[in-house]
Structure 1
């Protein structure tokens, strides 16, 4: 059976605030732990009023502390902005305190021109993405490559276990980096949708995979927007709020909140927004638990995926808690 995981954005619902959003994500993580989900990841999003998760490493430390078994991860750390050495130290600290429960999801998204400029102000030299990943792996594994420019440097604390590494991608260079370094790979279906390029990237990853200390065999995940409710009608109403939010985001707006079902119901989409939503529907699974289960299983079959990462972006923490509970029951997973 395909493993079920969650990627949460810490949504700031209409009428709520960021502090409450972070606490609600913590509630969801505790619930996912009790239900038997395998992983719970949090996002790195900057300059977004409606998303409270800007620093996944800090959030992960708290979430790992309040949960017991579930793996806690980043979806992901956008490493072009950061020092590979500091990323390695952050995740060694997490792994030291919560051994065999930490996932380092690595991404390459710049996050917008203004964010990119602020995070990289006064930096001149820039390492390649491949070099950054190689450096992080060297520090996390105490690699003995005599050619490395910082060969005598180690990342503290020295520990016996290693975080899982996942390369996040949509069919680009992350595929080859994951295969070459023997890490897991997750395809961003929620961002790219179903395409021959995506399917080819996974085939290429499996063919080129080199066993490592991280994985002996290829390990593929697929991430998808998911809206679950007791009935298809209720799920569609929740999805309308998600579609409105995404229409705002994808038309260069920065909404102050994640809209309610009522706000979505009273909103009239313009032609451009409506076109965006039609594209978005192809990247989203919406429905009752049985329907969503069938769609997830079909998606996993298409991608030959070992794991599925659901992104439950729909309004209201109680709706999200109910949705992930219904899905866990449909799949029959247990803690």
Structure 2
């Protein structure tokens, strides 16, 4: 089974943003050594505890410090940007790092309403126009505008030998059908969805229309997972990210991911305890064999071609250990 990494560049309570970004680089390097297929980094804007607002900058840094692992955005929030500029940026990356670049596209704001307004005064309109923007972006990437198109003579230079691989990221039937209609690969965010993912992915496969003859439907399912030597340790480590989620909901998460000790000490109401248990049900938490079984079950139920794992812990070492144990379980 192909395994990959989604990194949100989380900032722990004892870290600076620079520390967090350096840990992202280290995670990519370790992921490469362990044989993970790809490393994607997310785009967020003015969200406390998340350090990456510009994936394209981080990908240059990570690409220069790795050699073989595929790297990409998870995702470029396309409603903020003109497709031509996005194509230029990722063609540049694909020229620097041949046959290694993915360009994941999303439509979420990735931040507060205020941050969204600071980035764009037409965001909602651009969300509605995403199918058109996506089509334009794909034409720039594949350099195949119709001869009578207004951009037919415009190239998203430099043109790499191998184009960046486009993916559409989403959590809904709408995004799945758009990926199918445009012949794109699809990454389903199971870790942040309340929808019936199996049915969504089936509709994607049933509706898929290849843009090029060699294209086939391709599905990644992204899941939150924490693995440790024992189930008890994994549960303890997971508590940091779970309590941090509660803190963010209450506007208290500005100090970053709390330590396990602080997470254990955090007082929870009965309602918050219920929320924590509900969040845990969306995660995969356990020892090596437990996590392996759950990932295999997930792949089978979703008929996924690849599983992408997002892991948020207070300790960078705990995060690396989790990815190492999961990788070894599948050797």
TM-score bucket of the superposed structures, by smaller chain: over 0.9
1:161 aligned partner: 162
Cα drift, residue 254 of structure 1: 4.1
Q: Distance in 2 between matches of 1:178 and 1:8?
A: 22
Matches within 5 A, 1:211-290: 211-213=210-212, 216-290=215-289
Q: Distance in 2 between matches of 1:313 and 1:281?
A: 13
Please say if residues 48 and 254 of structure 1, whose CA atoms lie closer than 8 Å, have aligned partners that are also in contact: no
Matches within 5 A, 1:54-203: 54-111=53-110, 112-121=112-121, 126=126, 128-146=129-147, 148-193=149-194, 195-196=195-196, 198-203=197-202
Cα drift, residue 172 of structure 1: 3.5
Q: Distance in 2 between matches of 1:266 and 1:215?
A: 55
Q: In structure 2, do the counterparts of structure 1 residues 253 and 135 end up closer, same or farther at CA, with 3 Å as the change threshold?
A: farther
Q: In structure 2, do the counterparts of structure 1 residues 203 and 265 end up closer, same or farther at CA, with 3 Å as the change threshold?
A: same
Please say if residues 79 and 123 of structure 2, whose CA atoms lie closer than 8 Å, have aligned partners that are also in contact: no
Q: RMSD of the TM alignment (CA)? A: 1.8
Please say if residues 49 and 256 of structure 1, whose CA atoms lie closer than 8 Å, have aligned partners that are also in contact: yes
Aligned length: 329
SS of 2:49's partner is coil
- Higher mean C-alpha displacement, 120-129 vs 70-79: 120-129
Please say if residues 182 and 214 of structure 1, whose CA atoms lie closer than 8 Å, have aligned partners that are also in contact: no
- Higher mean C-alpha displacement, 160-169 vs 232-241: 160-169
- Higher mean C-alpha displacement, 59-68 vs 264-273: 264-273
Deviations 1:171-195 (A, max 9, x none): 23221221122211011110014x4
SS of 1:74's partner is strand
Q: In structure 2, do the counterparts of structure 1 residues 214 and 106 end up closer, same or farther at CA, with 3 Å as the change threshold?
A: farther
- Higher mean C-alpha displacement, 60-69 vs 168-177: 168-177
Q: Distance in 1 between matches of 2:234 and 2:108?
A: 30
Cα drift, residue 22 of structure 1: 0.6
Please say if residues 116 and 123 of structure 2, whose CA atoms lie closer than 8 Å, have aligned partners that are also in contact: no
Cα drift, residue 125 of structure 1: 6.8
Q: Distance in 2 between matches of 1:124 and 1:5?
A: 31
- Higher mean C-alpha displacement, 305-314 vs 251-260: 251-260
Please say if residues 84 and 140 of structure 2, whose CA atoms lie closer than 8 Å, have aligned partners that are also in contact: yes
Cα drift, residue 123 of structure 1: 8.0
State whether structure 2 residue 34 is matched by structure 1 residue 51.
no
Please say if residues 10 and 25 of structure 1, whose CA atoms lie closer than 8 Å, have aligned partners that are also in contact: yes
Matches within 5 A, 1:321-332: 321-332=320-331
Cα drift, residue 279 of structure 1: 2.3
Matches within 5 A, 1:32-51: 32-51=31-50
Gaps of 5+ in 2: none
Q: Distance in 2 between matches of 1:210 and 1:324?
A: 35
1:209 aligned partner: 208
Q: Distance in 1 between matches of 2:296 and 2:123?
A: 45
TM-score when scaled to structure 1?
0.93
Please say if residues 11 and 50 of structure 1, whose CA atoms lie closer than 8 Å, have aligned partners that are also in contact: yes
Q: Distance in 1 between matches of 2:202 and 2:250?
A: 33
SS of 1:75's partner is strand
Gaps of 5+ in 1: none
